[in-house]
A and B are shown apart, each in its own frame.
Chain A
């Protein structure tokens, strides 16, 4: 069973894998003709670090192993990069990735736990994942197991009141085995978050709810690995929120440069997709 490595993860290998997952996300959405590639790209370091840096205690061969760490993709529209990570870990053939969103494929537009055994929670209605992650963290304690619960959320997703209900409940129960990772890319569906619903001072909000908070650059490998290491470290008596400052569409300049967030939920198609794949692999 794979467990968290004692040694520091190899950032070069991680970066290579991250680029693969980014490329898959773009290709999968291009093939499907729909999906949210820019959402996947901003989370690419966070997800790659967690899954391939040895931080997630997980074995795709045994998706129902009771001691596995739980990962909840609360921002369910980031499904492609989760599927890509699972395929690269050997859960199913990478060729299956190109069935994203097809009739009958278990790789649905948003993660469906009933169709895909590696999906811990069905998501796609934003704001619900942290509560589920908290329930899992409480179950670990109740069952005397030492697994951890990780929840990846969008920053726009934090608009939902349920997130803060979960945050306060987690503080009450001092679930140190629960980590919330916020993909703080600054954009949501209809525009920049600071115009749609301002969240700042965001770190203060989590702290006020009783959480430990780390604010990091979510595209800087040392920072990401250090934060994930801290998440696993003993000696904290409360849940941890990692606020990762990221760039929506990271690695694809035409998405990054677009000030209007026009690419939210819009795939790159044809030549544009191929160019973007080259860019994330080589750029």
Chain B
């Protein structure tokens, strides 16, 4: 990934790897932890847990609906059940099971969708999770997480396992630019302010946090100072941070590797419209399934990069 390179952010581990290793570490101290796989543990990295704790690891084959149901049954019997697949297959194929067996009874199931967004690259649209945030935020009581880099993914994995009730976390395939020092102090539902600025606020999640930091550097050269928030929790949203941004800066631009429908931008806009109306802009996938291509090429093609964010900021500020 070249995202973040213009401001010298080094590439770190993929968020899916960080999740997999953190999960295995948690297995050592949390005996209730069990993992259910759908023949993709080497992609989602739950295989690390499976190698260390084979008796607590269940691979039920390529069968996401069953996988979620089995996890729900384990959770209903006192376990903390983590189940993972590609974000697309997990959230789309098993949506009804997530709704009925996880959301509605509020079971202690942790859903992890890997291969989020278009940065998976060449495998193409069928494998890209670009609607997972919309689907998962639509489940009442669900917590929805989207880590920006490896270090934050490790912390959020622990917070996810410790949290009571249903949680969805999305992880990515490519190496992620390093945004945080090791073991940042994060809290679910609390945005992290990664840059100060009084002109505009960029609210991003996932890989787009690094892109937002890059955009902020570009804008600074034009005399526009951007505040950057890592909104790693899409649900419950940090309303106070959004309201402060709306009041203290001249506008908000959101950036996400997700469809514009029902993602981070939509959620932020709802808060803004109700609590503190301000000008807004949105960077994300606009009514498209995307296509195959190299990750960097795709991010550029769909404007999911610093230039795309900066252009949206200029539009919002009328600059």
CB pair B63–A197 under 8 Å, yes or no, is yes
User: Which interface residue of B93, B124, B301 has the most chain A CB atoms within 10 A?
Assistant: B124
Q: Which single member of A33, A126, A127 contacts B122 (CB below 8 Å)? A: A33
Answer yes or no: A275 CB below 8 A from chain B CBs: no
CB pair B62–A126 under 8 Å, yes or no, is yes
Answer yes or no: B88 CB below 8 A from chain A CBs: yes
Answer yes or no: B123 CB below 8 A from chain A CBs: yes
Count of A-B contacts judged by CB separation below 8 Å: 96
Answer yes or no: B89 CB below 8 A from chain A CBs: yes
Chain B residues lying within 8 Å of A115, measured Cβ to Cβ, are 291
Give 7 new A-B contacts, CB below 8 A, not counting A101-B122, A126-B62, A190-B37.
A76-B126, A101-B123, A103-B298, A104-B291, A110-B126, A123-B126, A159-B62
CB pair B123–A109 under 8 Å, yes or no, is yes
* Cα(A86)–Cα(B293), bound, Å: 21
Task: Using A190-B41, A190-B47 as known contacts, say yes or no to A196 and B127 having CB atoms under 8 A apart.
Answer: no
Chain A residues lying within 8 Å of B124, measured Cβ to Cβ, are 101, 108-110, 112, 124
CB pair B39–A32 under 8 Å, yes or no, is no
The B270-319 residues at the A interface (CB cut-off 8 A) are 291-294, 297-298, 301
CB pair B63–A125 under 8 Å, yes or no, is no
Interface of A is mostly: loop
Chain A residues lying within 8 Å of B93, measured Cβ to Cβ, are 125
CB pair A103–B301 under 8 Å, yes or no, is yes
Chain B residues lying within 8 Å of A156, measured Cβ to Cβ, are 39, 61-62
CB pair B40–A189 under 8 Å, yes or no, is yes
* Cα(A159)–Cα(B40), bound, Å: 13
The B179-197 residues at the A interface (CB cut-off 8 A) are none
What per-residue 1/0 map shows which CB atoms of A188-208 lie under 8 Å from chain B? Answer: 111000001100000000000
* Cα(A188)–Cα(B43), bound, Å: 13
Task: Using A103-B291, A103-B297 as known contacts, say yes or no to A109 and B60 having CB atoms under 8 A apart.
Answer: no
Instruction: With CB as the reference atom, state the residue of chain B lying closest to A156.
Output: B62
Instruction: With CB as the reference atom, state the residue of chain B lying closest to A126.
Output: B62
Chain B residues lying within 8 Å of A127, measured Cβ to Cβ, are 62
* Cα(A102)–Cα(B295), bound, Å: 11
CB pair B292–A103 under 8 Å, yes or no, is yes
Chain B residues lying within 8 Å of A76, measured Cβ to Cβ, are 126
Answer yes or no: B42 CB below 8 A from chain A CBs: yes
Closest CB-CB distance, A255 to chain B, in whole Å? 17
Going nearest first, the 8 A-B pairs with the smallest beta carbon separation are: A124-B126, A197-B61, A103-B293, A159-B61, A109-B124, A101-B122, A108-B292, A159-B62
